[in-house]
Amino acid sequence: MPSFIGAIDNGTTSSRFLIFDERGELVIGHQLEYRQIFPHPGWVEQDPMDILGSVVACIDGALRKFELQGNNVKNLKAVGITNQRETAVVWDKNTGRPLHNAIVWSDTRTKDIVHDFIESSDQGADAVKDICGLPITTYFSAVKLRWLLENSAEVKEAHDNGNMMFGTVDSWLIYNLTGGKEGGVHVTDVTNASRTMLMDIKSLKWSDKCLEFFGINSEILPEIRPSSAHFGDIKHPQLSQIEGIPIAGCLGDQHAALVGQHCFQEGEAKNTYGTGCFMLFNTGTEIIPSNMGLLTTVGYQFEGEPAAYALEGSIAVAGSAVKWLRDSMGMIKSAEEINDLAAAAKDNGGLVFVTAFSGLFAPYWRPDVRGAIYGISQHTTKHHLARATLEASCFQTRAILDAMNAESGHPLKSLRADGGLSNSDICMQLQADILGIEVSRPQMRETTALGAATAAGVHLGIGIWEGGFKAFAKRAAAAKEVLQIFEPKISETQREEQYDLWKTAIAKTLAE
């Protein structure tokens, strides 16, 4: 009988459940958006129960479609999970209920806490960077947890009494999907743990020094496991049809995309254009510290194998800028419309859009700045704004790539793209023009979910994943992928003129 692997893909604004066959081909999926909560400017929250509810509903919806295709749910052999990273969730150990809304990765309420930590250390923002690979910024989970401890009496009491459980979204989902308060497993994987500022990226264990620095009780933390491992078995009252199926893979979404894009060789890189935009550059087993605003992170780890590391450039706003044009400005009715608008302009008309809705991430790391639009004139139209919105992610990617090329010593010659915005041909062409290298887009765009399915498939040795990670990686390297290639079409002079205009706009934004 054929075997299938399911993948839970929890993104920042929606959840999905996709089912892949044993060849890694997508069979069916189901997607639901869930509520975003904005209590104050710069604050972004989610109800953990909304996240869980959307995931359960997506699994149920996808399984119904799966059966309508004539498939048997009993042939679903495992589930992998991939999730939005850094988002902090806290819940009660006894009741299993959330103690507070989840604080989302893009939330910037912790600016003052970050400032205090930086000022109190001789090393400033790099106080724990040698241990965890990350600078102290509003982005990562530890400062979000610190804010909760300082601003919620209920959270602090539960923390101090050892009755609190903490985790990123993967931990919250696994805990609930494996039984919740009735024996749910409290675990995470190395990729998600590497985004908390609490894990030693060398030992792949929680760091006592980081825990002491941030004032966090180690008892509240999940157990860290490899990305491809056994995380527990499904046990949820609304998912009785797949009860007992193992959760066998878990990766943060950007790491899952690295795996799904088969970037297993040192020097290979992918860029995911989602709500934000994230480039990961595989550095193999070598940990490369960054002095140019990049992040040193765990790329992935398969059970029995050493961890692969990566340099990462993180951009807070990408697809969310398109959503802003749709929901807040009413300029478009659907995200797809931005392509037609942008294509109607031969250039940006001198318009530059710095989309700093949540400050600026890599390589600038300025959570205090706000978004800005420069170069508006009577000549400016909505077509120019649409084009400038797409270009914003592309220019920030250029800044990150320049830093990666300098620090890795291996200039990138081709960039693999995935994520929602990568479906835009004009965006991908703009990216190739701005970078001056080819941008490749896989035929199968669900690379994040595929990465989670791959981790689960390798653990179980199913189908194309049979024989373990090394055998699969070798086959993946030899396979002839169907890729759409976007080649640069503008001159070097034009490219640098455009990029200089962007850098001028960034300098003005940072100076305000």
pLDDT band (50, 70, 90) for residue 52: very high
Residue 420: what pLDDT? 81
Q: Are 112 and 146 in contact (CB under 8 A)?
A: no
Residue 201, in any domain of the structure: no
Residue 267: what pLDDT? 84
How far is residue 88 from each of residues 107, 178, 221, 333, measured CA to CA in Å? 10, 20, 12, 32
Classify residue 378 as exposed, middle or buried by CB count within 10 Å of its CB (0-12, 13-18, 19+): exposed
Contacts of 282 (CB under 8 A, 6+ apart): 258, 263, 264, 265, 266, 267, 268, 269, 299, 308, 309, 310
Residue 128: what pLDDT? 93
Residue 379, in any domain of the structure: yes
Spatial separation of the C-alpha atoms in residues 99 and 101, rounded to whole Å: 7
Mean pLDDT is highest, among 235-249, 376-390, 393-407, for 235-249
Q: Are 191 and 251 in contact (CB under 8 A)?
A: yes
Q: What is the mean pLDDT of the chain?
A: 91
Residue 45: what pLDDT? 96
Q: pLDDT: is 419 or 433 the higher one?
A: 433
Residue 419: what pLDDT? 81
Q: Are 476 and 433 in contact (CB under 8 A)?
A: no
Select from 195, 200, 221, 216 the least CA-distant residue to 113.
216
Structure tokens at 202: 């060398």
Strand ordering across the sheet containing 14-21: 26-33, 14-21, 4-10, 76-83, 247-252
Residue 165, in any domain of the structure: no
How far is residue 477 from each of residues 158, 261, 290, 481, measured CA to CA in Å? 49, 11, 28, 9
Contacts of 418 (CB under 8 A, 6+ apart): 257, 260, 261, 270, 271, 272, 273, 441, 442, 445, 447, 448
Mean pLDDT of 410-437: 88
CATH code, 388: 3.30.420.40
Residue 56: what pLDDT? 96
Mean pLDDT of 445-458: 92
Residue 342, in any domain of the structure: yes
3-state SS, residue 111: helix
Residue 456 pLDDT > 80? yes
User: What is the amino acid identity at position 425?
Assistant: D
Residue 90, in any domain of the structure: no
Q: pLDDT: is 367 or 46 the higher one?
A: 46
Spatial separation of the C-alpha atoms in residues 229 and 455, rounded to whole Å: 8
User: What is the amino acid identity at position 364?
Assistant: Y
Residue 453 pLDDT > 90? yes
Spatial separation of the C-alpha atoms in residues 385 and 254, rounded to whole Å: 28
Q: What is the pLDDT of residues 95-115, one digit of tens each?
A: 999 999 999 998 989 999 999
Residue 278: what pLDDT? 87
Residue 360, in any domain of the structure: yes
The rounded percent of the chain whose pLDDT value lies above 90 is 63
Residue 480 pLDDT > 80? no
Residue 382, in any domain of the structure: yes
Residue 345, in any domain of the structure: yes
Mean pLDDT of 400-409: 84
Select from 309, 310, 314 the least CA-distant residue to 273.
314
Q: What is the pLDDT of residues 160-176, one digit of tens each?
A: 888 999 999 999 999 99
Residue 248: what pLDDT? 96
Residue 313 pLDDT > 80? yes
Terminal C-alpha separation, the chain: 63
pLDDT band (50, 70, 90) for residue 78: very high
pLDDT band (50, 70, 90) for residue 13: confident
Residue 482 pLDDT > 70? no
Mean pLDDT of 73-78: 94
Mean pLDDT of 466-482: 81
Q: What is the pLDDT of residues 317-332, one digit of tens each?
A: 888 888 888 888 888 8
Domains held by the chain: number:
1
